[in-house]
Structure 1
Amino acid sequence: MKNSRRLFLKSACALVVGASGYTVAQGPLGEAQQTTKKYALIHDETKCIGCDACSVACREVNNVPEGVTRLRIERKGPYGEYPEQYFRFTRHSCQHCEDTPCVKVCPTGAAYKDEATGIVSVDAWKCVGCQYCIAACPYQVRFINPVTKAADKCDFCKETRLKEGKLPACVSACPTQALTFGDLQDPDSQVVQVLKHTPNYRTKTELGTRPKLFRIGSQDGEVRL
């Protein structure tokens, strides 16, 4: 059944691409419906110690195969002169953009933004592995899952932890509370309060993607050797 489905979708994909290059995909709730929530994540680089507890928890909860990852912590450094050396740790994962390049190029509707949550997601059943979304993502965070053969990435644990009313696995696993998750549409949420009162930044904002992964910039000398 799975192979037949893929063959069918690949044939349909070929017809669509041949006719127009790509189509604009729509989420399962339709573009006419308004977002009820707008989930976002803050990575506080001043608290992150690069322990990788977040990526380990993500892999376990979401059954991410070895060899690929939905998120990783990039370690940069050391900076400075001994003994005043330090590292910086930054998060590499889906940015859950407001303006989604990956969704725009998907010919089957497999890539979509969930209008109920604002989360950018992938419907593995619809994905034909064309990799258009991977090429279009300016943050280079998508990959082909070697088990499902479909595009994959962070979805804020939408199909696992969020369904159970829990925080994303990475947030719960962080030992230093470097991650804050919440609804940008709720003025009383912790994520909104942190963004209001703490200087923060986002990457590649000049592209107009309006990412919902915010960062609190690291300061010199947090982690010393």
Structure 2
Amino acid sequence: MRNEDSTVQATFNGIARRYDLMNRLMTLGSHKRWCRELAQCATSGGGDNFLDLATGTGVIARAVREQSPESAIIGADFSAAMLAMARSIEGNAGIDWQFADAHELPFDDGAFDAVTHGYLLRNVSDLDQVLAEQFRVLKPGGVVAAIETSPPSGLLGPLVRLGMRVVVPTLGTLIGRDRGAYKYLVESTLGFMGPEALRRRFERAGFTDVHVKAKLLGTNMIWTARKPG
């Protein structure tokens, strides 16, 4: 594991206990609704094998379970603390929680009908490798559906950036109990690529039908893309 990946791993291990609460606050209560929307995108084409990467506490994996109760679902993360939290929450029937690094997935080619993830891509050290791995483990015609942050743009962009730099670390201090971790999350968002650049990376990995839907003043995006069948 690269040094930068180890640092990210330690960050998420440290914030696992209050991760869901902070997500609710930072998305103004929208996070679970977005996860349900994401799960609908992932399951709309049918199928019975799903992989949720960077599963965290398992919110997306459980949303997929609600949409497709008979399916086999793997929730994978490289944070042991996050996986421990996921296992402790009710509603896990049929979900297999596994330790996995998104850069090198321990799954067969063409194993899954859909791959989902939330806030993964801005935290990886090799974006192209991570997307290539998702492409590899998808069946032909399979989809990737993801929530990802995006740096604010437009007329309100500077104001939103300032607000993020002030509000999120403050919440991280008062509620998340780790100002440094949430300062990192803000900087990783503001330093991440914009939607058009990320679209090109999906396409470079081989995906087609790449679509994006903006949420919360463009600070969050729901992405869908397809592996050609």
Give the shorter-chain TM-score range: under 0.3
Higher strand share: 2
Larger Rg: 1
Q: Which has the higher contact order (CA 8 A, sep 6+)?
A: 1
Higher helix share: 2
